[in-house]
């Protein structure tokens, strides 16, 4: 089984922005809630490995028999790195105190997993949180947008459906200025997609 090929939480472009933002942040400890097969952790670590930042990977791996949970976590960790600054926490994110970390990526598997942590988030001192808008999950998308609308979360960046919220933090990749529910926000301009490529292909065929 090739762990790296199992699953990607984000697109290549979203990972690029996530890496840039975590590298530029002043966070000392970075936390990946729901580490699963490590795609988010690998991106985070790649961009912080040459700093003194520490990475905390949280998962309970409830889908595995108990005796295989830590061995699987150890295998996932090896795909991220061997540094002692990478920590694995085999625990329920609803009991683990992830609010102690400065930069948190929400990689929740469902509304039931996400909602208790979201409630903890907006009374916490976490500096930056990265949350995706899963359009196939109405409850998570609705709750996320409502929290921004009511000012419980302050959006800073929008990257193809992933929203970075919290305090001001730098991103050195190209962004445009916009507004979301009255909050100023920087967003990555719509990338050229398959529709535009198909039109280019048609124009090429007609030598236009
Ligand atoms: C969608 S996956 C996350 C993907 C991952 N971030 C990646 O980059 O590959 C969701 C993960 O959340 C974990 N999970 C679900 N409920 C949890 C809980 N209460 N506490 C900790 N982890 C949980 C699951 O075991 C699963 O590994």
List the structure tokens of 141: 């998308």
Residue 46 has pLDDT above 90, yes or no: yes
Mean pLDDT along residues 18-34: 97
How does residue 107 score in pLDDT terms, banded at 50, 70 and 90? Answer: confident
Distance 179 CA to ligand 1 centre (A): 31
The better pLDDT of the pair 196, 161 is held by: 161
Distance 13 CA to ligand 1 centre (A): 22
What confidence score (pLDDT) does residue 139 get?
94
3-class DSSP state for residue 164? Answer: strand
| End-to-end Cα spacing for the chain | 48
> Could you tell which of 31, 36, 91 is best to mutate to test the pocket of ligand 1, judged by most ligand atoms within 8 Å of the CB?
36
What confidence score (pLDDT) does residue 178 get?
97
Distance 69 CA to ligand 1 centre (A): 12
List the structure tokens of 92: 């329920």
> Could you tell which of 19, 92, 109, 119 is best to mutate to test the pocket of ligand 1, judged by most ligand atoms within 8 Å of the CB?
109
Per residue in 125-149, pLDDT (tens digit) is 999 999 988 888 999 999 999 999 9
Q: In ligand 1, which atom is closest to the CA atom of 6?
A: 9
Distance 108 CA to ligand 1 centre (A): 5
What confidence score (pLDDT) does residue 192 get?
82
Q: Which of 44-53, 72-81, 107-116, 177-186 has the weakest average pLDDT?
A: 107-116
What confidence score (pLDDT) does residue 102 get?
96
Mean pLDDT along residues 15-19: 98
Per residue in 149-176, pLDDT (tens digit) is 999 999 999 999 999 999 999 999 999 9
* Residues in a beta bridge with 157: 164, 186
List CB contacts of 11: < 8 A, sequence separation 6 or more: 160
What confidence score (pLDDT) does residue 43 get?
98
Distance 36 CA to ligand 1 centre (A): 5
- Taking alpha carbons only, the member of 160, 170, 86 closest to residue 128 is 170
What confidence score (pLDDT) does residue 134 get?
85
Percent of the chain with pLDDT over 70: 100
Q: In Å, what is the CA distance from 123 to each residue of 36, 114, 166? A: 26, 15, 12
Measured between alpha carbons, how far is 118 from 3 in angstroms, rounded to an integer? 28
Residue 196 has pLDDT above 90, yes or no: no
Print the domain residue range for 187: 3-205
Q: Which of 12-26, 27-41, 71-85, 186-200 has the weakest average pLDDT?
A: 186-200
> 91-100, 113-122, 133-142 — which one is most confidently predicted on average?
91-100
Q: Could you give the number of structural domains in the chain?
A: 1
Map 108-150 to HEC letters.
Answer: CCCHHHHHHHHHHHCCCCCCEEEEECCCCCHHHHHHHHHHHHC
Q: In Å, what is the CA distance from 70 to each residue of 7, 75, 123, 131, 166? A: 19, 9, 31, 26, 32
Distance 45 CA to ligand 1 centre (A): 18
Pocket of ligand 1 (CB under 6 A): 7, 9, 32, 34-40, 58-63, 92-94, 107, 109, 113
CATH of the domain at 95: 3.40.50.150
Atom 16 of ligand 1 has which residue's CA nearest to it? 113
What confidence score (pLDDT) does residue 136 get?
87
């Amino acid at each position: 089984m090739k762990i790296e090929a199992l699953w990607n939480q984000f697109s290549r472009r979203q990972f690029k922005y996530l890496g840039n933002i975590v590298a530029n942040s002043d966070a000392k400890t970075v936390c990946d809630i729901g580490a699963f097969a490590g795609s988010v952790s690998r991106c985070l670590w790649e961009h912080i490995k040459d700093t003194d930042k520490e990475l905390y990977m949280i998962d309970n791996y409830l889908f595995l028999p108990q005796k295989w949970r830590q061995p699987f976590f150890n295998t996932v960790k090896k795909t991220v790195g061997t540094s002692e600054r990478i920590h694995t926490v085999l625990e329920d994110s609803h009991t683990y105190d992830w609010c102690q970390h400065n930069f948190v990526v929400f990689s929740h598997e469902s509304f039931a997993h996400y909602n208790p942590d979201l409630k903890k988030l907006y009374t916490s001192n976490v500096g930056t949180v990265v949350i995706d808008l899963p359009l196939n999950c109405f409850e998570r998308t609705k709750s996320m947008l409502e929290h921004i609308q009511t000012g419980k979360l302050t959006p800073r960046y929008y990257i193809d459906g992933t929203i970075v919220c919290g305090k001001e933090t730098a991103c050195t990749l190209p962004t445009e200025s916009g507004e979301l529910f009255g909050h100023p926000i920087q967003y990555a301009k719509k990338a050229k997609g398959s529709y535009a490529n198909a039109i280019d292909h048609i124009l090429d065929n007609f030598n236009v």
